[in-house]
Structure 1
């Protein structure tokens, strides 16, 4: 599942900015606004879908998400064919609709997939599994990069259509092969409506967060992480295209982005393998110290990219940032899941994901406005400084533990 999801994501997002900028003609503000709509959709939907996963079935939630994601990306790939005077809606309106579908589909999968696998296995096994699954994800990303570049050279919208098809195929595979043996569906009280049952699950999830200071702190960490990542994720490629520029060579932008993504993926695989062999994910102090250092690296890389005087410095920052993100993701996921009770796991994970969406939907427009009002470099600087609270919070946990 991780392999195919990463394959689809890599096919779609390696060269997505070429489609957005050269074919759909989006401005930096529109790029960030599209991301903001996505995150607001996640913010609204996440609480509902997480509760569905904890109340009824995590398998069902994941499978629904796959088909909705496939529909979202196929629609996005078709936008370029809808751009003609007779069209009822402009291209940006179709993009907003596809982003809303993307957000709904993502929330059905988010939290439910992690809660499902943690219930299927002992918690002691999940740390190593998340590290290994990251290797599978990065391997799939390498394959997806090649496919994305090849399809983008044929037509910039083809990666979206192919990625959407992969999600549809994965949905069919999961219907056939995905088992759910660890999840115990809640006993429904007589004369209790489904809405009331969902509400009880949500309230119990809130109670878990309220009575666990570390989970509350991690929720705040996720909030600022989301605010910082939205600006960077949406603008680093257009920053390279418009403000840094590529070396003069007979190599297309699609190939350049493919080479950058491939290099970041290979370095990330090596870093994750190294960290997996040397880190004990059960030692909380060591984990918090590692996340503090990785956050410092991420902030430094975003600031370096913003101030980069040339292409070499910019690429160094992008690659090192990718490595830091590849290592921090499975460490943070393992640490977070070790603190959650099985009964409410998907609901609480969805609430924390809502915090990420809130950070992205609140921070994204601010960062995008700075880019439109001043420059993309200024936007990236703002995104980098948004990681300062994350560093402070991880430092606080490190001292306390």
Structure 2
């Protein structure tokens, strides 16, 4: 008989393990695609577009499993698909294998998306959820940093190894959960609550209707679209800019993959400190102050991306990347808090879902455009243009400041 492990312990184990394994893979994945498979800039961005599109398309079909059959089963299937995806990509050095892996990863992610939080909410009966979610996030942050260190060390032997090992560990986690994860409070959704394309369309249209009645919410939707448009290209090309445009210091004789690990690790530590500082400041500020802070953050983000793209030496590029990473990390929770404050409680989930769909749509549209610019002109130009695409956010936020002043 299996010894029962409490749902809280299972959830924290799951949160930490998935963060660690993802971090192991992500630390080396772009270096692997650029240096080992030799993908061009357009192919790099296309990889991300396939991932986003598969997540967007399969969100509803896979959600039916979690709604109707089992949260646990949905999570286990998702982890197996994610693990298989990373193992395939690391084992087969072909562009086709990378595309197939992104498709599998996207489908796998949609199986886990929402099912994990819904499972722990069911098992705890809706009690102390804020605390367990916060602990899960903190566990994930610590595990992500450990994953960067482990991945960097392993990659000195072979760049593909962290991807293969990370993939196999995802499958091992799926087996562990299959054996030890309890599911005692699951109730299948009623027909009207089940995921469906019709429901997705209804949710989107209901969200749009609510947003259209509030100019600030309408402005935030435009901002969400712009965040999607700029981010996919930048996220796929920043590593290529370091590898091929600025290079790394030769004197220290450190491998490029180790440099990427160091950059990721330092950026994560700095962002943790920055987020904690901002969180404490936010407790003492009003809405107007928050929007001023958001405006400054987005101004710094835009400038940092453009200057990062134009930088031709390592120190300047590193400085701009660090500024951008910290600003982006602090921007997320402040923007979410401001947005949620302006949404009525009874339609909050619907409206937030609509913003998520706009961001995903922006990534699917913006990724290939930025990729083509990188292929036809240069990676530097594509990154700088990503910053220009982000810049209208500043104008929208200034508009938001004026609206608040007039209230």
Quickly name the TM-score band, shorter chain normalised. Answer: 0.7 to 0.9
Size of the aligned set, in residue pairs, is 383
State whether residues 46 and 353 of structure 1, in contact with CA within 8 Å, keep that contact through their aligned partners in structure 2: no
Partner of 1:171: 174
TM-score of the pair, normalised by structure 1 = 0.82
Match 2:42 to one of 20, 29, 32: 29
Q: Does residue 15 of structure 2 align to residue 6 of structure 1?
A: no
Q: Does 1:107 align with 2:105?
A: no
Q: 1:240 to 1:330 in 2, by over 3 A?
A: same
Following the alignment from structure 1 to structure 2, what is the Cα–Cα distance between the partners of residues 262 and 252?
15
Cα deviation for residue 68 of structure 1 reads: 1.8
2:396 to 393, 397, 400: 393
Are 1:292 and 2:295 an aligned pair? Answer: yes
Aligned to 2:10: none
SS in 2 for 1:30: helix
Q: Hey, what does 1:201 align to over in structure 2?
A: 199
**Contact 1:51-1:201 at 8 Å conserved across structures:** no
Distance, in Å, in 2 between the alignment partners of 1:380 and 1:185 is 46
Q: Secondary structure of the equivalent of 2:156? A: helix
Residue 342 of structure 1: how far off its partner (Å) = 8.5
Residues 245 and 312 in structure 2, CA contact (< 8 A), matched pair in contact too: no
Does the CA-based 8 Å contact 2:85-2:104 persist in structure 1? yes
The residue aligned with 1:248 is 250
Contact 1:235 1:376 in 2 (8 A): yes
- List aligned pairs for 1:1-400, cutoff 5 A: 1-49=14-62, 53=66, 60-80=73-93, 91-113=94-116, 126=130, 133-175=136-178, 176-177=180-181, 185-188=188-191, 198-199=196-197, 201-213=199-211, 217-249=219-251, 250-280=253-283, 285-332=288-335, 339=343, 345=349, 351-400=354-403
TM-score, normalised relative to structure 2: 0.80
Structure-2 change in CA distance of 1:263 and 1:61 (3 Å): same
Do the aligned residues in 2 keep the contact of 1:74 with 1:164 (CA within 8 Å)?
yes
Identify the structure with bigger relative contact order (alpha carbons < 8 Å, sequence gap 6+): 1
- The answer to whether the Cα contact below 8 Å between 2:72 and 2:181 also exists between their aligned partners in 1 is no
TM-fit CA distance, 1:281 = 10
What CA distance in whole angstroms lies between the structure 2 residues aligned with 1:157 and 1:309?
28
Moved more, 145-154 or 272-281: 272-281
- 8 Å CA contact retained: 1:116, 1:180: no
State the shift of 1:248 in Å.
Answer: 1.2
Contact 1:142 1:262 in 2 (8 A): yes
* Structure 2 residue runs without a partner (length 5+): 1-13
CA distance in 1, matches of 2:397, 2:184: 35
Give the Å deviation of 1:147.
1.1
Distance 2:285 2:199 in 1: 28
**How big is the shift at 1:179?**
5.9
**Alpha carbons of 1:256 and 1:203: their partners in 2 closer, same or farther (altered >3 Å)?**
closer
Structure 1 unaligned blocks of 5 or more: 81-90
- Please tell me whether the aligned partners of residues 208 and 354 of structure 2 are also in contact (alpha carbons under 8 angstroms): no
RMSD: 3.5
Q: What secondary structure does 1:154 align onto?
A: coil
How far did 1:115 drift?
A: 6.1
1:13-36 CA distances to partner (integer Å, 9 max, x unpaired)? 112222112211111121112222
